[in-house]
Amino acid sequence: MPILQDGELVLYGFVGDDFWGDGFTAAQVLAALAEHGRENDITVRLNSGGGIVDEGLAIYNALAAHRGEVRMEIDAIAASSASIIAMAGDRIVMKAGSVMMIHDPASITIGTIADHEKSIEMLTAYSGQMASIYAERSGNETDAVRADMEAEIWLTADQAVERGYADEAEKAKAKAVAAFDYRAYANAPDRLKTLARKRNWSFETEHKAAASASASTRQQKETTMSEKQKAEDNAADTEAAISEAAKKAVAADRERRKAVLALDETKGREALAEHLLGTEMDVDAIKATLAAAPKAAEEKRPAASYEEQRSLAAGLARPEASSQGRPKATINAGEIYAARRTH
């Protein structure tokens, strides 16, 4: 429903994005104030169990900056961040039966030590700012306000006026309190806790969903990192295995070559042995192939020396009978010698 109704700002429900289908945001409040007119007085009717601290502080600042007078009426309850909003009223009026609750801000953190430390820093900053707002409006010392916040005080209309957190306790009957899971507060009145239980105003489902989503995100990150690390480790192992295999292959090839060249069958067949070493044949197969192959032809002997030629010529110089009974011409070693000299 619209929060600007008949010239009044009606802030009922959860502060911020709501769980139960109602509520109000800082953006809505700013738009409503702009529509109403910044110079015009306005009545704010507040009935909220609290909500998001950021939204509450933003709404407080928007109302505090409004140029017209702001009359804050607590119709039933102003708890947690809603009580901060109440402090923006130039006059704070609590209806009969209404209550106000002041406490330290709270949060749920799921994560690492660093995540929790950041939450502590955030909550410390929020509590300090909220205490200064309560102290300025009530006139109490900041230390006294911090003590009230830490104790989580629940104030009736008269008590709120007595402590300076409200200006007037009106006798008009308070309206029904806004939907909120009051069991989340440590010192909430039993009637509010019972009402929350009966009306099923519960954060349990939302908190479980948030925890589940956070855990899922964290698990996904851890899985991604684990898979990445595993892939890097596998790649390193593969590279090391390849390097080791290469070293072993080189060493085995050297041993194979050495064994082949030392074979008796290689002698005289060196060229064939080199060729066979370029194949995948093992030493035994190469040995068998070499044994079956002929040796390379021996090199031609050099030309016979002069003395060898004379000896050969002497052996050839013998008479032979011709077919007609006449002797053939004989070959004289001297003639061979003379013939060689003329050439």
pLDDT in tens, 210-259: 444 444 445 554 444 455 555 556 656 666 666 676 667 777 777 888 88
Task: Tell me, yes or no, whether 304 lies in a domain.
Answer: no
* Whether residue 141 is found in the same domain as residue 222: no
> What confidence tier does 161 reach under pLDDT thresholds 50, 70, 90?
very high
CA atoms lying within 13 Å on the CB side of residue 117: 3
Give 36-91 pLDDT, tens digit per residue: 999 999 999 999 989 899 999 999 999 999 999 999 999 999 999 999 999 999 99
**304 touches 282 (CB < 8 A):** no
Task: For residue 148, count CB atoms less than 10 angstroms from its CB and return exposed for 0-12, middle for 13-18, buried for 19 or more.
Answer: buried
Average pLDDT, the chain: 77
CB atoms within 10 A of CB 176: 11
CA–CA gap between residue 180 and residue 203 (Å, rounded): 8
* 279-284 average pLDDT score: 81
Task: Tell me, yes or no, whether 87 lies in a domain.
Answer: yes
Q: What is the pLDDT of residue 80?
A: 92
Q: What is the pLDDT of residue 268?
A: 82
Domain boundary among 168, 201, 234: 201
Task: Tell me, yes or no, whether 316 lies in a domain.
Answer: no
Tokens of 291: 């044994």
* Whether residue 232 is found in the same domain as residue 139: no
Domain count, the chain: 2
* Whether residue 78 is found in the same domain as residue 146: yes
Higher local confidence (pLDDT), 113 or 341: 113
* Whether residue 119 is found in the same domain as residue 223: no
* Whether residue 142 is found in the same domain as residue 219: no
Q: What is the pLDDT of residue 216?
A: 47
* Whether residue 113 is found in the same domain as residue 26: yes
Tokens of 308: 């060898």
CB within 8 Å of 334: residues ≥ 6 apart:
none
* Whether residue 133 is found in the same domain as residue 225: no
Domain of 192 in residue numbering reads as 4-201
* Whether residue 20 is found in the same domain as residue 124: yes
pLDDT for 338 beyond 60: no
* Whether residue 145 is found in the same domain as residue 272: no
> What confidence tier does 328 reach under pLDDT thresholds 50, 70, 90?
very low
Phi-psi region of 314 (alpha: psi -120 to 50; beta: other; left: phi over 0): alpha
Give 193-207 pLDDT, tens digit per residue: 666 676 665 655 444
Max mean pLDDT among 10-24, 98-112, 171-185, 247-261 falls in 98-112
* Whether residue 160 is found in the same domain as residue 194: yes
* Whether residue 48 is found in the same domain as residue 179: yes
Task: Tell me, yes or no, whether 325 lies in a domain.
Answer: no
* Closest C-alpha among 26, 21, 33 to residue 54: 26
* Closest C-alpha among 126, 63, 57, 67 to residue 92: 63
* pLDDT more than 70, % of the chain: 63
Domain boundary among 201, 232, 249: 201
Q: What is the pLDDT of residue 242?
A: 62
Task: Tell me, yes or no, whether 256 lies in a domain.
Answer: yes
* Closest C-alpha among 159, 186, 191, 156 to residue 174: 156
Domain boundary among 150, 176, 201: 201
Give 282-323 pLDDT, tens digit per residue: 888 878 887 877 776 544 444 455 555 555 545 544 444 444
* Whether residue 25 is found in the same domain as residue 90: yes
Task: Tell me, yes or no, whether 255 lies in a domain.
Answer: yes
> What confidence tier does 184 reach under pLDDT thresholds 50, 70, 90?
low
Task: Tell me, yes or no, whether 138 lies in a domain.
Answer: yes
Task: Tell me, yes or no, whether 320 lies in a domain.
Answer: no
Q: What is the pLDDT of residue 273?
A: 76
CATH number at residue 8: 3.90.226.10
* pLDDT more than 90, % of the chain: 42
* 150-160 average pLDDT score: 94
